[in-house]
Amino acid sequence: MFWFHFLDYFFVVFHLAIVIFNLFGWIWKKTRKANLILLLLTGGSWFGLGIFYGFGYCPFTDWHWQVLDHLGGMPGETSYMQYLYARAFGLHLPAGLVDTSTLAAFFAALIISILINIRDFRRKRRSRP
């Protein structure tokens, strides 16, 4: 049972780290490419795998739900982000608000990351002799 509790906490911290990096990883020059890659993987999961498993599908969320089910209780929230807000911050927000703000923040971060990576690529190419 120890491992399921460990995995439960791991997935909360892991998901929070992914969300924070997706939103802000474009800020630091050294992490910009990794940020863009992670954003594309996140979008690929949500929209690509989502075709087969439902919009917004994430395998890490699926595994965390399985851990929580094994521990004896699935959360009452309908989305993982709604669950994270409740679990990590004690905020119980409406599903529609969470889903809309999550999608808006994702696309904002993706657009910023793409534009900054293009700018960096062009600057690097221009500085070559």
Q: What confidence category does residue 29 fall into, taking pLDDT thresholds of 50, 70 and 90?
A: very high
Rounded Cα distance, 57 and 14, in Å: 16
Across the chain, mean pLDDT equals 95
What's the predicted TM-score (pTM) here?
A: 0.91
Tokens of 55: 């919009």
Distance in Å from the first CA to the final CA of the chain: 60
Which pLDDT tens digit goes with each residue over 72-108? 988 888 899 999 999 999 999 999 999 999 999 999 9
Reported as a single tens digit per residue, the pLDDT across 4-14 is 999 999 999 99
Q: Which region, left, alpha or beta, applies to residue 74 given φ > 0 means left and ψ of -120 to 50 means alpha?
A: beta
